[in-house]
Chain A
Amino acid sequence: MSEEKGLSRQQMCNRLAREFADGWIVNLGVGIPTMCANADFSDRLITFHAENGVIGYGAIAAPGQEDKHLVNAGGQHVLPKPGMVIVHHADSFALIRSGKIDVTVMGAYQVSEKGDFANWKLAGAKGGGIGGAMDLAACAKRVFIVMEHTTRDGSPRIIKNCTLPITAPGVVKMVATNYGLFRIDAAGVTLTEIAPGLTVDEVKAATGCPLVIPDNLQVVAT
């Protein structure tokens, strides 16, 4: 991880989770995105879908509470929730492909200013891990990314063009990093909210493409 600047991982996820609207079906990727499930949804009905066919699962199971037959897409034991449904893998992806997922939140190595993103294969690697990312990225109504703003060695992850093999072209709508919240559209990348304690110049210096800075730039509420 790069230096602990700006938002914590949970704060990044909490900010993205505020975008989830009442009634949404939400798919959370492995890693940081799973922390979106810890956000406060007391004012909205949110249903979590996992690639392995679990629709409407509950919280991560505490030690001793695990059911050996129930995991989420990250292989974490989760608790059943009233109304939960199980389907097989082909039906799980049928509902993904037919656009029933309102948002998929994924991690990424890189996001381009055109909304391409890369999250399945590292430079020079022969193997990779696609999992359900390509199906979700191509078919969910919205793709949100949550990631550290820079790599371990300080290189920007939001860049002009992805140099790693991409997961899908032109699909990312919103990115939350420890530096703030970013929108991607025809205008390119807009910094819509900045993390507390950071300056616009710091964000620009750590970003590999031009940033649109709105006049009414907000600070991420934490």
Chain B
Amino acid sequence: MQRTKIFPSLDAAVADIPDGSTIGFAGFGGVGTPWFLIAALSRQGAKRLTCVSNSTTARDMPPGAADMSAIVANGQLAKGICAFTAGTRPSQKLVFTEWYEAGKVEAEIVPQGTLAERLRAAGAGIPAFFTPAGVGTEVSEGKEHRDFDGRTYVMERALPLDYAFIRAWKADALGNLQFRLSQRNFNPLMAMAARVTIVEVEEDVLPAGGLDPDQIHVPGLYVHRLVKVDPKGMPA
């Protein structure tokens, strides 16, 4: 017997997300970004969300896509946990930065490797770890420090998610996932860190056995919902 993980639509896949959830958006530089699921979340309207994402913006989005800016502009965000809470150039004014500066959303800025490892730790049953990144800077203020072998490290906590939004290249009906090139980025880590993992898939979902077991990047046991999308664009 096999229950299907395939959902009929993006909207159906995000329909039950309650107010106050912590949601991770994978993706980096607009590659592997689950922008159709984010668009569905903006239609769904859940409020007081904590969103975890490397940055708040994606580039070159197709029709029907959205990035975290849409969640901010829609008044759905309470807090962003990101490696970038402002643009990479001073001239770049992001929607998130405007809302943050106006005091309408909270932000936690996290070094990118620490963000990745906090997600990995959450998916690996590790409550906290020590890293040298950020020692001696603003981001380690108030946190526990400890010396190991003559070097100072800061303790960082695991970052579990209620929901992870993932974009994969290929999937099978059991939810086993494959990514292509730099699409992988945060996707496997967020999938492992979440209680419920929702995936937008670029190619048709294959039957079980359609993927080589040695070439699966995320085992289906971490994956709960699959929606086939059209990489070129989706009707909103």
Across the interface, name the chain B residue whose C-beta is closest to A170.
B136
User: In the complex where A70-B181, A75-B30 touch, is A135 in contact with B113 (Cβ < 8 A)?
Assistant: yes
- Cross-chain contact A89 with B186 (CB below 8 angstroms): yes
CA distance A151 to B19 in the complex (A): 45
Q: Do B133 and A135 touch across chains, with their CB atoms under 8 A apart? A: yes
Interface size of A by CB at 8 A reads 46
In the complex, chain B residues whose CB is within 8 Å of the CB of A166:
136-137
Let me know if A86 and B184 touch, CB within 8 A.
Answer: yes
Residues of chain A with a CB closer than 8 A to B31's CB: 52, 68-71
Q: How many residue pairs bridge A and B at CB < 8 Å?
A: 154
Binds A, one of B36-44, B66-74, B93-101, B206-214: B93-101
A30 to B28, CA, bound (A): 14
Q: Is the CB of B139 within 8 A of A71?
A: no
B112 touches A135 (CB 8 A): yes
Identify which of residues 102-157 in chain B touch chain A, using a CB-to-CB cut-off of 8 Å: 107, 109-114, 116-117, 119-120, 131-139
The majority secondary structure among interface residues of chain A is loop
CB A33 to nearest CB in B, in angstroms, measures 12
Cross-chain contact of A87 among B29, B55, B184 (Cβ < 8 A): B184
Contact B85 A90 (CB under 8 A): no
**B59–A127 touching, CB < 8 Å:** no
In the complex, B185 has a CB within 8 A of chain A: yes
In chain A, what residue has the closest Cβ to B60?
A68
Contact B83 A138 (CB under 8 A): no
Interfacial residues of chain B within 47-88, with CB under 8 A of chain A in the complex: 55, 59, 83-88
- Bound CA–CA A167/B113 (angstroms): 14
A43-74 at interface with B (beta carbon < 8 Å)? 50-54, 67-74
Please judge, given known A-B contacts A80-B181, A97-B133, whether A132 and B30 are in contact too, CB under 8 Å.
no
> Which residue of the partner chain, among A86, A121, A133, A169, contacts B181 with CB atoms under 8 Å?
A86
Interface residues of A in 154-180 (CB under 8 A from B): 165-169
Q: Give the residue of B111, B135, B139, B186 whose beta carbon is less than 8 angstroms from that of A88.
A: B186
Q: Is B189 an interface residue (CB 8 A)?
A: yes
Contact of B112 among A72, A86, A131 (CB under 8 A): A131
Residues of B within 8 A of A135 (CB): 111-114, 131, 133
Residues of A whose CB lies within 8 Å of any CB of B are: 30-31, 50-54, 67-75, 80, 86-90, 92-93, 96-97, 121-122, 125-135, 138-139, 165-169
Could you list 20 further interchain pairs (A-B, Cβ under 8 angstroms) beyond the known A50-B182, A88-B184, A135-B133? A51-B28, A52-B185, A68-B231, A69-B31, A69-B183, A75-B29, A89-B184, A96-B113, A121-B138, A126-B100, A126-B107, A127-B86, A127-B97, A130-B112, A130-B139, A134-B134, A134-B137, A134-B139, A138-B135, A166-B136
Q: What are 10 contact pairs spanning A and B, CB under 8 A?
A: A30-B88, A70-B31, A86-B181, A97-B131, A130-B83, A134-B113, A134-B134, A135-B112, A138-B133, A167-B137
